[in-house]
Amino acid sequence: MRVIVVLGHPRADSYCAAILNAIVNSLQEKHQVTEIRLADEKFTTAMTSKERQAYETDSPLISDDTRRHAQLLLQAEAMIFVYPTWWSGLPAQLKGWIDRVFVLGVAFKFNEKNQIRPNLNNIRHIIGVSTYGSPWRYVKLVNDNGRRTLTRSLRASTGLRTRTMWHGIYALDTCTAEQREKFITNTTRKIAKRLDKSESNK
């Protein structure tokens, strides 16, 4: 299976990066895994004025980095996002990546009636892994907007047959080293099991 794993944390030595490394190591033996480390690539967060103007045309991808990432999306079968939840949502770099790459011809298209339809029907799985500074009850109270964006909004671009999976570690600041390690082990095992089973059922 062709898998994209996206890191939405700015530091390569972060706990999120450790989670991503474990996921990649657990999958790469059986799957074709591509890592997108947005901070390492110095990916530009904000959509430029020219990009916003191009967004409303038939050719919205006007930079090399967005074209390259769009091509990966159009070939992938699974997307895995690893990021910290900040201010109840996605970090700016990850949100900016979605803004700039999930455009017409990539995330969506128009049918003959000029109605928006999903264009990423190749994506069979959307998997999110996030760290939370707040406890679970508070996260639910404020709606967990990053999770909603990835498992609902993006799923509208892949189709209703796409399966979603979510793993979160809550109240991270008070977690022990043992709890953090256990979360990585359980998360990587469950993700690998899900994708291995999906691949065998093809």
Please state whether beta strands 108-110 and 116-118 pair in parallel, antiparallel, or not at all (unpaired): antiparallel
Low-confidence ranges of the chain (pLDDT < 50): none
- Confirm if 169 and 180 have CB atoms less than 8 A apart: yes
Domains of the chain: 2-200 (3.40.50.360)
pLDDT score at 98: 97
Task: Enumerate the H helices of the chain as residue ranges.
Answer: 15-27, 49-55, 64-75, 92-101, 136-141, 145-148, 155-158, 177-200
> Could you give the CA distance from residue 136 to residue 111 in angstroms, rounded to a whole number?
41
pLDDT score at 193: 95
What's the one-letter identity of residue 21? Answer: N
